[in-house]
Amino acid sequence: MEFGRTSIGLLAALSVPAGLGWFKKMPAYGVGFTGLYGAVVLLPQNRDVDAWLALIGLFLLAACVAIFMRPWSSFSVDWSWIPKPTMTPVRYLATVGAAVASFLLLHLGWHAASKQMRTIVEGDDRFLITVSGLLLAVFGFQFLIGLTVAPLISEIRAKIASRDLPGSVEEFIKVGPHVGWIERFLLFSFLVVGSPEAAALVVTAKSFARAPGAREGGKLVGDYYLIGTLVSVAASLAASSITRLALGLSPL
């Protein structure tokens, strides 16, 4: 189960920021989440050199992805606004003491937090595996879903701009990702416990709620709704199957 826990955990650590667009819009959040969640996955059970090297590699990979995805512009930094310190011996000793005290407090806090985290995670790998699978289903696959429907969204917005489609269709498009998060959360929850019948009810309920808006936009918006729903259901099924395999269960 440890291999499954590590695999699905690291996959979630990288895919969730990508799905939420953090690597492109908020790279510090994306890299930070990857590093923190990677630490939760790797360190509680294995604190040897290999685990730390794996965590450093994961952090550097996330940083490289953020640099690659973000359209950085050339810039220069003006350091002239920083005042030059005038350090007397007393202030120097006070600064060193404050740094040492801060380090000790951070070390004690990290030790207490890691001990608590080990208590939670080491008790049962199933908890972290399930959480990683849920994050993968709800947010991790959002990047893939977005790529799939992106051409249709561009065409729909072009028709809205030319007034071939009503402006209300734009609102229908905007709430799509949020509806997808709720849909995949419910689908994953039912599928991972082996209740596909309940999962089918989720898709049916979504159809009743979203179908009127899709019909208002005609065939193009209907295609967007249909393709988005199918890919979202497939993502939930894939994430739940991966999670069940990592838990030592049958995929369905």
Domain ranges of the chain: 2-71+87-123, 141-246
- Is residue 61 exposed (0-12), middle (13-18) or buried (19+ Cβ within 10 Å)? middle
Measured distance CA(142)–CA(235) in Å, rounded: 9
User: Among candidates 133, 139, 134, 132, which has minimal Cα distance to 18?
Assistant: 139
Torsional class of 46: left (φ above 0), alpha (ψ -120 to 50), beta (otherwise): beta
pLDDT of residue 227: 92
In tens digits, the chain (252 residues) has pLDDT values of: 577 788 888 889 999 999 998 988 888 899 999 999 988 888 766 667 778 888 888 888 888 888 887 665 655 656 666 666 666 676 667 677 777 777 776 766 666 665 655 555 555 678 888 999 999 999 999 999 999 999 999 998 888 888 888 888 888 888 889 999 999 999 999 999 988 888 888 888 888 888 777 777 788 888 998 999 999 999 999 999 999 998 888 887
Q: Count of CB atoms within 10 A of residue 237's CB? A: 19
Altogether, the residues listed in the chain come to a count of 252
58 alpha-carbon distance from chain centroid: 15
